[in-house]
């Protein structure tokens, strides 16, 4: 009998620790997703071959953010390495809704894990168009709303304003039966206020954190290194901020929390679970190692066992003192 036959499907690594979980009814073999925009599954498949599909590094795949119209993204430089992290000003390049639905979506829905599509618009009408079009497609398990953008009508960053979130989620909720995950920005004093508004308006989960506003200066000519002037900081540098925000948000809402911000191994993933996250997402670490998701998953059983947890569920149920 093989190891996996002996231990069952919830324990594919044969560690004796059950990592299976679910997110808003989406069953997951383990709690490790990717952060939107940080892992191009289709490009990776071309580069590394079908082994990337048969040994997919994540238990669920979150697409890069899709907008209604195509976007070219920001001018270079778009990436800047910092101590323990990086600043990106990629600017959400994507083919736009129509081309995404005709092209990438079909291939992404063939991945061996549930697919969550990330969408962003500058108005509730734009979000509605995206949610209706993508939500109606086979093979989509959930939608993530990237709300780190200004509303064209109010001029306000949607994710910074509880009232904007309430109005947006109330508009979108009746348009789909799929889980709606609201991705929170860390660039606010009280992310829990935004999370509570999202939950009250009908969101099924919140994910956090997106990147922290940041810049890098070339002191020789006093200019910003990044083409867009500034961007968003990510990676282990932001982990303590992300943990504090995940902890505050998880204490304020009953819906599940997707925790991210510098997750790089089993230990850091466990920190997020103990802060109250149901599952974690790996972002910047994918740029160092395309198998980062697998590294995190493989490190989790040991991290759990050393704290006396017999399963992921036990850690999810335990609260920080």
Ligand X SMILES: Cc1cc2nc3c(=O)[nH]c(=O)nc-3n(C[C@H](O)[C@H](O)[C@H](O)COP(=O)(O)O)c2cc1C
Residues that bind ligand X (CB under 6 A): 35-38, 64-65, 88, 90, 92, 118, 146, 183, 209-211, 234-235, 238, 260-263, 282-284
CB closer to ligand X out of 17 and 238: 238
CB closer to ligand X out of 17 and 143: 143
CB closer to ligand X out of 42 and 90: 90
Which DSSP symbol is given to 71?
B
User: Least CB distance from residue 16 to ligand X, whole Å?
Assistant: 28
Burial of 5 from C-beta contacts in 10 A (0-12 / 13-18 / 19+): exposed
Tell me the sheet residues that pair with 82. 85
User: Least CB distance from residue 39 to ligand X, whole Å?
Assistant: 9
Q: Are 35 and 62 in contact (CB under 8 A)?
A: yes
User: Least CB distance from residue 149 to ligand X, whole Å?
Assistant: 10
Contacts of 114 (CB under 8 A, 6+ apart): 26, 27, 28, 59, 60, 61, 141, 142
With CA atoms as reference, report the closest residue to 192 among 125, 275, 314, 279. Answer: 275
Backbone angles phi, psi at 2, to 5 degrees: -75, 165
CA 159 from centre of chain: 15
Other C-beta atoms closer than 10 Å to the C-beta of 226 total 22
CA 190 from centre of chain: 20
User: Least CB distance from residue 92 to ligand X, whole Å?
Assistant: 5
CB closer to ligand X out of 20 and 146: 146
User: Closest-CB residue for ligand X?
Assistant: 37
Pair type for strands 231-234 and 212-214 = antiparallel
User: Least CB distance from residue 237 to ligand X, whole Å?
Assistant: 8
CB closer to ligand X out of 17 and 23: 23
User: Least CB distance from residue 210 to ligand X, whole Å?
Assistant: 5
CA 218 from centre of chain: 31
CB closer to ligand X out of 31 and 37: 37
Enumerate the active-site residues.
149
Cα(263)–Cα(244) distance, integer angstroms = 14
Cα(198)–Cα(182) distance, integer angstroms = 7
């Amino acid at each position: 009998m093989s190891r996996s036959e002996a231990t069952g499907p919830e324990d594919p690594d044969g560690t004796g620790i059950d990592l299976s979980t679910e997110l808003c009814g989406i069953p997951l073999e383990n709690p490790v997703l990717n952060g939107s925009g940080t892992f191009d599954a289709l490009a990776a498949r071309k580069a590394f071959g079908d082994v990337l599909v048969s040994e997919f590094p994540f238990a669920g795949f979150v697409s890069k953010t899709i907008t209604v119209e195509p976007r070219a993204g920001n001018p270079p430089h778009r990436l800047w390495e910092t101590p323990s992290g990086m600043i990106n000003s990629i600017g959400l390049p994507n083919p736009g809704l129509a081309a995404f639905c005709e092209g990438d979506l079909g291939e992404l829905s063939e991945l061996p894990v549930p697919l969550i599509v990330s969408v962003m618009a500058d108005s509730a009408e734009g979000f509605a168009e995206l949610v209706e079009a993508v939500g109606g497609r086979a093979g989509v398990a959930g939608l993530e709303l990237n709300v780190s953008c200004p509303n064209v009508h109010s001029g306000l960053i949607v994710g910074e304003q509880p009232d904007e979130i309430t109005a947006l989620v109330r508009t979108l909720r009746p348009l789909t039966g799929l889980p709606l995950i609201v991705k929170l920005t860390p660039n606010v004093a009280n992310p829990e206020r935004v999370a509570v508004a999202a939950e009250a308006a009908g969101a099924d989960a919140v994910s956090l954190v997106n990147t922290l506003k940041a810049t890098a200066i070339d002191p020789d000519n006093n200019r910003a290194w990044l083409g867009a002037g500034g961007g968003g900081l990510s990676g282990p540098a932001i982990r303590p901020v992300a943990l504090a925000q995940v902890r505050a948000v998880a204490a304020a809402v009953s819906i599940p929390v997707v925790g991210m911000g510098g997750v790089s191994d089993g230990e850091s993933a466990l920190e997020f679970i103990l802060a109250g996250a149901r599952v974690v997402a790996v972002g910047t670490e994918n740029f160092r190692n395309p198998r980062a998701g697998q590294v995190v998953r493989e490190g989790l059983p040991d991290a759990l066992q050393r704290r006396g947890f017999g399963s992921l569920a036990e850690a999810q149920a335990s609260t920080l003192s």
